[in-house]
Amino acid sequence: MAGSLILNQFYEQMHSMYPQKGISFLVGEHRGTGIITPFVHDTTDGVCGNAFEIFEDSVVDIDAWINCAIDMGYEEIWLQGHSLGPSKMAYYASRDAVNLKVKGLIFISPSDMAGLVRTPDAIGLHQSMLSEAEALVLEGGSKSILSISMFDGEMLSAQTYINFFSDNSACAIFNFGQPQFGWEIVNKIKLPTLAITGTKDDGIVPVCDPHKAMKTLEMELKNSKEVKTLVYEGAEHSFDGFGQKIVEDVSFFVGLT
């Protein structure tokens, strides 16, 4: 769609594909980029990255990239993100202050962050990490890195682990496997939304059948103007080999509105 632009946190390989459909494509980094990343900002003490990230701060970064696109002259902006990205986008879009230039959302593997650490295989590790994090915060070490890692060696600070994975975390948004956390954020979304997952997507499969998960998401997006969900047979969390298909499906959805 000529004149539209998609903001994305992932899938750099699509950078050459979207323009073929008449859609500009902007990949934006944010304060969760990398594990420990130098970043000059008053609230970060000169360092950020996933190890020190606070979920709610993602609103600032999303707004910054939207304003960047607006400054470049774009008037129709779609947000596309992968894995944790959809959680941030959903949180952003659920707020009354969402930028009116944003026309819709594209969730690539909207992962159940709360559920992934509470599966039978992960719950013991989660409880150990949460206990250590809470103890470190009480001792004044909120930015100390936990001695235990998760998700293939991902290092997190005490404050970040609590912020992302405690029972009252704002990051508990796509609660396919933990329905007790509710769907309040998703219920508030009014924008057209496309969600894509795969039958081998380990951001969802450990907690829920992906087809069932997408049906649940469709139901919970009760205030969205337009909703479509897709499950790719054989697609893993990385969606390797599915870039062209994603571009085709996203381009078609964008053209519907």
Q: Are strands 76-82 and 102-108 parallel, antiparallel or unpaired?
A: parallel
Using CA atoms, how far residue 145 sits from 52, 120, 158, 209, in Å, is 9, 25, 6, 33
- Give this prediction's pTM: 0.90
- Residue 109 near residue 205 (C-beta atoms within 8 A): no
Structure tokens at 218: 């469709």
What pLDDT was estimated at residue 120? 95
CATH number for 4-255 (one of 3.40.50.1820, 3.40.50.880, 3.40.50.620, 3.40.50.150): it is: 3.40.50.1820
Q: How far apart are the first and last CA of the chain?
A: 10
Domain range list for the chain: 4-255
3-state class of 108 per DSSP?
Answer: strand
What pLDDT was estimated at residue 9? 44
CA–CA separation, 65 vs 182, rounded Å? 29
What pLDDT was estimated at residue 28? 79
3-state class of 186 per DSSP?
Answer: helix
What pLDDT was estimated at residue 31? 78
Q: What is the mean pLDDT of each run of 10 residues along the chain (257 residues)?
A: 43 69 82 72 66 90 92 92 94 89 95 96 95 95 88 85 96 95 97 97 96 98 96 94 90 78
